Amino acid sequence: MDVRSCRPPQNLYFTNDRKLLSVGMAIQPDATYASNPTGRRRIVIVLICAAQAMLIVDVVVVNVALPSIRNGLAIPDDHLQLISVAYTLTFGSLLIAFGRAGDLLGRRRVFLLGLSLFTLASLFTGLAQNEWQLITARAGQGVGAAMVAPTALALLTTAFEEGARRNRALGYWAAVSSAGAIGGQLLGGLMTDTLGWRWIFLINVPVGVVTVIAGCFVFAESRDDRRPSLNLRGAVLLVLSLACGMLAITRFAEGGHKDEGTFLLVAAATALVAFIMVERRHNTPIFDPRLIRRANVVAANALLAVNAGMLGGTLFFTTLYLQLVLGYSPMEVGFAFAPITLLILIISPRAGALITRYGARLLVLIGFCLLAGGMLLLARVPTNGSYLRDVLPPLFLLAIGSGLSYAPTFAAGTAGVPNHDQGLASGLLNSAQELGTAVGVAVLGALAAASTVDTTVNSLAAGYRTGLLTAAGALVVSLLLIRQVPGTGESS
């Protein structure tokens, strides 16, 4: 689909009283929404949340379907991880670069092109007939997702002025991001068992097509009015550094690949140093120094990374406990997480509204304390425990903590950031979430494995306990950054 063919007129816009304001002027951010601010912005939220849901669900939905994919395409067991890595690697490493590209080339344009690519790649993934077709298409999904995620959040923050409206919109965004990561397991299990594994990818096609067509008429274009050039060399080096870093984490997490992991880590560090040198010499660097000097931006990214990593590790341990200790099937595990998915969808939008009243700082503080409490309770779960008595109550704490803390963190990470840097700020937050999850699961998994003597139930539970206690401790320590998060009446 050529998204340029359905571009809305950019030579006029209206005020709230629908009088023609100007002819021959470029649309400013928010201008296209001025003629019908309530209805049109609601559609913006729905479309962006629909796109975000597809991206987040696709990270986890494939895990449940891996056995079916292996049998259907005769993929060797040692190649199965490539199906997930192909998506997460391209997704995570390209986020910042495409976030900045959206600022310079137009967020609407990059978003629609990315969503079109993601939809097309989803079709090819669902129709794949062999291993290389599947993995290549999954990588294409990752590239499209990396174009969509940062520009979607930037479109959201530039469509709503900083304050109550933006906070509410971010609440819906956070609800989809948090619930999608958990609910993807249930969705994957249901679709794999009823329709077959191909439909976990094919379901994206109608949703993507509808979102692209509607987005052509709803989204306003916004970009940096200064139109600086994109630092291509810096972008390539940054992508190379992030990709090598993520691969290194993957190899270390697998175990037995220390030499490869070390080599990739050195390559990542080398590319990062080269990136910094190129950035210092370029007239328009990817990272605006003023942005990364903002204490609230740095703190929000660090808190989001810790939150995503520790929560990801906790859900990983909980899944293993339900399957290996309590003997749950993948489908039963999905249903076990269903109540907290629903709770997050209820709480997160409300948290967005609470930011305006109480400030992001208080909500992050309460959310992190609840998350740590839930992890400590899970660490005490016995080997002969039950889901309703021992697992569900801590999961409720995790759901409330996650629902209260995600939206305020996104709000803090974009507060006070000028519109021309919103794409970069969004790319940073998305990268912090992706990299935080990868590092958190890898580190906590390694600690748990080191504490596991054998495969007996007691030994496995001891390993999970070590990981959960570490996760709770990391959340508490990260609260040292809480003072940098805006409180009531603060914007940055």
For residue 478, what pLDDT band results from cuts at 50, 70 and 90? Answer: very high
Q: Enumerate residues 6+ apart whose C-beta is below 8 A from 479.
A: 365, 368
Average pLDDT estimate for 334-352: 84
> Which pairing describes strands 20-23 and 12-14: parallel, antiparallel, or unpaired?
antiparallel
Is residue 137 very low, low, confident or very high in pLDDT (cuts 50, 70, 90)? very high
Percent of the chain's residues with pLDDT above 90: 23
Q: What is the distance between the alpha carbons of residues 450 and 444, in angstroms, rounded to a whole number? A: 10
d(CA 428, CA 92): 10
d(CA 454, CA 158): 53
Nearest to 382 by CA among 325, 447, 448: 325
The token duo for 319 is 């899944």
Q: What is the pLDDT of residues 87-132, one digit of tens each?
A: 888 888 888 888 888 888 888 999 999 999 999 999 999 999 998 9
Distance, CA of 164 to CA of 240 (rounded, Å):
38
Contacts of 274 (CB under 8 A, 6+ apart): 237
188 touches 84 (CB < 8 A): no
d(CA 163, CA 166): 6
Distance CA 199, CA 195 (A): 6
Q: How far from each other are the two terminal CA atoms of the chain, in whole angstroms?
A: 40
Q: Tally Cβ neighbours within 10 Å of residue 190.
A: 16
Which pLDDT score, from 0 to 100, does residue 226 have? Answer: 63
Res 118: pLDDT: 96
Among 354, 391, 289, residue whose Cα is nearest residue 487: 354
Q: Which CATH number fits domain 7-230+286-484: 3.40.1180.10, 3.30.565.10, 1.10.10.10, 1.20.1250.20?
A: 1.20.1250.20
Burial of 327 (0-12, 13-18, 19+ CB in 10 A): exposed
Report domain extents, the chain. 7-230+286-484
Q: What is the mean pLDDT of the chain?
A: 81
The pLDDT tens digits for 17-53 are 333 233 333 334 444 444 445 667 788 888 998 888 8
Exposed/middle/buried for residue 387 (C-beta within 10 Å: 0-12, 13-18, 19+): middle
Average pLDDT over residues 394-400: 93
Give pLDDT tens digits for 196-231: 889 989 999 999 999 999 989 888 777 666 666 677
Confidence of residue 5 (pLDDT cuts 50, 70, 90): very low
Report how far residue 368's alpha carbon sits from residue 413's, in angstroms, rounded to the nearest whole number. 17
Beta bridge partners of 14: 20
